[in-house]
Amino acid sequence: MPNMILGTYEFPWNPDRWDPPELELAYANELTYESYAHYDWGFYIIGQEKLLEWNWMKLDQYNAFRVKFLAGAIIPWVPGNGYVYQVKILRCTGDYAEVIGVLQDGEPTKARRENVKMLLLITDYEAVS
Q: Where are the domains of the chain?
A: 5-127
Query: Residue 6 burial by CB count (10 A; 0-12/13-18/19+): exposed, middle or buried?
Result: buried
Please tell me the predicted confidence (pLDDT) of residue 103: 61
User: Which residue stretches of the chain are H helix?
Assistant: 59-71
pLDDT digits (tens, 9 = 90+) for 24-40: 999 999 999 999 999 99
Please tell me the predicted confidence (pLDDT) of residue 65: 97
Helix (H, G, I), strand (E, B) or coil at 2: coil
Q: 23, 35, 19, 31: which is closest to 77 by C-alpha?
A: 19
Please tell me the predicted confidence (pLDDT) of residue 2: 86
pTM here is 0.85
Say which residues have a Cβ less than 8 Å from residue 58's Cβ, sequence separation at least 6: 12, 112, 113
Please tell me the predicted confidence (pLDDT) of residue 111: 84
Please tell me the predicted confidence (pLDDT) of residue 102: 63
Please tell me the predicted confidence (pLDDT) of residue 105: 66
Task: Point out which residues pair with 40 in neighbouring strands.
Answer: 27
The segments of the chain whose pLDDT lies below 50 read: none
Q: 105, 119, 125: which is closest to 68 by C-alpha?
A: 119
Please tell me the predicted confidence (pLDDT) of residue 82: 94
Please tell me the predicted confidence (pLDDT) of residue 129: 75
